Amino acid sequence: MEYRGLSESEITRDLFLSFTHRQTVRECWRYVDGEWVIRSDPFVDDWDEKDYEKLIRDLRATIAAQGFVSGAFQNGLLKGFAAVKAGLMGSRREYLDLASIHVSQDMRGQGIGRGLFTLAKDWARAHGAKKLYISAHSAVETQAFYRAMGCVEAQEYDAGHVRLEPCDCQMECEL
């Protein structure tokens, strides 16, 4: 697996032709009566063309704002990516936002997410953060990944993230 930073000009729809986002979700973490519980909530999370258009705009904007975008490539094909937005956030200005981390469906479970997460942490640390902030998909499998990476529930919730994705689990990872 080759990991490398991406440029704005590389981030086109063609970059994602070998990337499959699809995730079949059966159970999710939900915040109920003051505690996190696992609930049956089956659905398929899959991106359509509008989702890819938004992703491409967001990744390009992250790079333009001096943030971090890195890809994982196998035989020249994108199989995973991560993005960290520039600009410290939170009341103590200690977080950087892990805006994206995704591994293609055909490559999950092979350590690519761990590699990308490590690169994101290293970049965030080098750019003054004490913690990564993650608005994390609530799927049980996704949460297991973040917990394996050392993430815990965020001490401070970002209202913007909560408003955009009210079912996400707000997490942080100390660097």
Contact between residue 11 and residue 97 where contact means Cβ atoms under 8 Å apart: no
DSSP 8-state symbol, 139: B
Mean pLDDT of 44-48: 94
How would you classify the pairing of strands 77-84 and 95-103? antiparallel
The share of the chain scoring above pLDDT 70, in percent, equals: 100
The share of the chain scoring above pLDDT 90, in percent, equals: 98
Three-class secondary structure of residue 87 per DSSP: coil
Could you read off the pLDDT of 47-91 as tens digits, one per residue?
Answer: 999 999 999 999 999 999 999 999 999 999 999 999 999 999 999
Given the candidates 3.40.640.10, 3.40.630.30, 3.40.1440.10, 3.30.70.20, the CATH classification of the domain at 2-174 is 3.40.630.30
CA distance 15 to 37: 37
Transcribe 46-57 into DSSP letters.
---HHHHHHHHH
Domain segments of the chain as ranges: 2-174
Residue written as token pair 């990564």: 132
Task: Please give the model's pTM, rounded to 2 decimal places.
Answer: 0.94
The pLDDT value given to residue 164: 94
The pLDDT value given to residue 171: 97
Rg, the chain, Cα only: 16
Could you read off the pLDDT of 119-139 as tens digits, one per residue?
Answer: 999 999 999 999 999 999 999
Q: If we measure between CA atoms, which residue out of 138, 43, 142, 61 comes closest to residue 97?
A: 61
Mean pLDDT of 17-46: 94
Could you read off the pLDDT of 92-115 as tens digits, one per residue?
Answer: 999 999 999 999 999 999 999 999
Residues whose CB is less than 8 angstroms from the CB of residue 162 and which lie 6 or more positions away in sequence, other chains included: 135, 168, 170
Could you read off the pLDDT of 155-174 as tens digits, one per residue?
Answer: 999 999 999 999 999 999 99
Vertex 55, ends 49 and 57: CA angle to 5°? 105
pLDDT mean across residues, the chain: 96
Mean pLDDT of 13-18: 97
